[in-house]
């Protein structure tokens, strides 16, 4: 079964609630009864448990938590984020794959396209660091074509961090923190990382890849010990497996909402939200910025997404990219 392009239209009419008869399905969708049977079989092969009653028809008993495109698109209320989905049981890296697609022909990749993998064999973090991505997590990339100068890129990372923090808050009533620039932490442990990449020419961004890695239901016990100590998953926090499909759908809706605000140049609204989740405003920190260690107190975040730091010698500096160090 080709999971990339698979489409099972009857799924939008089947539910865990009421039965729906084969006749009603074939009337609604203009499919023959044999087509309906075939789609039911496909769903069963994918791990759906479907109750079949000769009189009443079909009803879903349980569905697998696989990030299949038609599940993500099912009743998704966005206009473009998540409306095109490429799904892979395994990839090296969703960012690397997306980059390859964009370099081949960006016009073929609509804005809001998602590239999703169940696991990544070569997931990447910033500065070439490794991102561990076993099954059970959410590893995806979102494609954007913002009207933006390359210097505006850090804002996309900030916006994405707000969207993820908000999604986690809304779905699980959990307060997470954003660690500048690209980490989402719960009690100082990393639950999510963001990797934004772009291509630009003549002072304008051509495309952006927003890579998002979230530890959801994946098992952290296989992580190297040092990373394990500093990581956490949503399953680990809430005590139960979460619905990754519902998470991705919610993320798409929030992402589109914020991206629309972003496109209208209303970044101060996003910054205000960012400040409420910030990990470090008012804190004394040390950071590695381009190989130099800088120490000071974080005063604020700037309109461009730079951290404003009051150095120990009293000087105010803006840091556009760097890694916060442990104190």
**DSSP secondary structure letters along 187-235:** TTEEEEEEEEEEEEETTEEEEEEEEEEE-SS--GGGS-HHHHHTB--HH
Least distance in Å: CB of 94 to ligand BT5? 4
Which residues contribute to the site for ligand BT5 (CB under 6 A)?
93-95, 120, 123-127, 129-133, 139-141, 182-183, 190, 193-195, 211-213, 215, 227, 231
Cβ atoms of 184 and 109 closer than 8 Å:
no
> Which residue number, 141 or 217, has a Cβ lying nearer to ligand BT5?
141
Query: Residues 6 or more apart from 239 whose CB is under 8 A from it?
Result: none
- Rounded-to-integer distance, Cα 136 and Cα 235, Å: 10
Query: Residues 6 or more apart from 187 whose CB is under 8 A from it?
Result: 232
Q: 115 - beta bridge partners?
A: 86, 141
Least distance in Å: CB of 192 to ligand BT5? 8
Q: Which two tokens stand for residue 116?
A: 């999703």
> Which residue number, 126 or 155, has a Cβ lying nearer to ligand BT5?
126
> Which residue number, 39 or 217, has a Cβ lying nearer to ligand BT5?
217
Residue 5's CB is within 10 A of a number of other CB atoms, namely 9
Which residue number has the CB closest to ligand BT5? Answer: 193
Least distance in Å: CB of 313 to ligand BT5? 28
> Which residue number, 167 or 215, has a Cβ lying nearer to ligand BT5?
215
Least distance in Å: CB of 179 to ligand BT5? 9
> Which residue number, 19 or 172, has a Cβ lying nearer to ligand BT5?
172
């Amino acid at each position: 079964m080709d999971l990339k392009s698979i489409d099972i239209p009857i799924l939008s009419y089947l539910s865990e609630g009421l039965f729906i008869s084969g006749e009603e399905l074939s009337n609604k969708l203009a499919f023959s009864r044999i087509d309906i049977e075939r789609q039911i079989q496909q769903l069963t092969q994918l791990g759906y448990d479907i109750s079949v009653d000769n009189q009443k028809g079909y009803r879903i008993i349980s569905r697998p938590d696989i990030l299949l495109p038609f599940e993500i698109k099912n009743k998704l209320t966005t206009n473009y984020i998540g409306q095109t989905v490429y799904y892979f049981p395994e990839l090296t890296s969703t960012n690397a794959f997306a980059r390859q697609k964009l370099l081949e022909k960006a016009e073929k990749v609509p804005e809001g396209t998602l590239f999703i993998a169940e696991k990544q064999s070569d997931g990447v973090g910033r500065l070439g660091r490794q991102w561990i991505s076993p099954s059970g997590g959410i590893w995806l990339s979102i494609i954007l074509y913002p009207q933006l100068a390359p210097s505006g890129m850090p804002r996309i990372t900030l916006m994405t961090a707000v969207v993820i923090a908000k999604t986690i808050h809304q779905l699980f009533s959990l307060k997470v923190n954003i660690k500048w620039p690209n980490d989402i932490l719960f009690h100082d442990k990393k639950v999510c990382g963001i990797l934004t990449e772009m291509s630009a020419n003549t002072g304008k961004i051509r495309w952006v890849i927003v890579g998002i890695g979230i530890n959801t239901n994946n098992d952290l016990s296989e992580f190297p010990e040092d990373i394990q100590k500093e990581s956490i998953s949503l399953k680990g926090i809430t005590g139960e497996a979460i619905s990754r499909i519902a998470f991705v759908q919610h993320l798409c809706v929030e992402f589109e909402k914020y991206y629309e605000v972003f496109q209208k140049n209303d970044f101060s609204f996003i910054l205000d939200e960012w400040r409420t989740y910030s990990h470090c405003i008012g804190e004394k920190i040390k950071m590695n910025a381009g190989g130099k260690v800088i120490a000071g107190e974080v005063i604020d975040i700037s309109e461009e997404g730079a951290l404003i730091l009051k150095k120990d010698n009293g000087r105010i500096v803006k840091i556009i990219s760097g890694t916060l160090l442990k104190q």
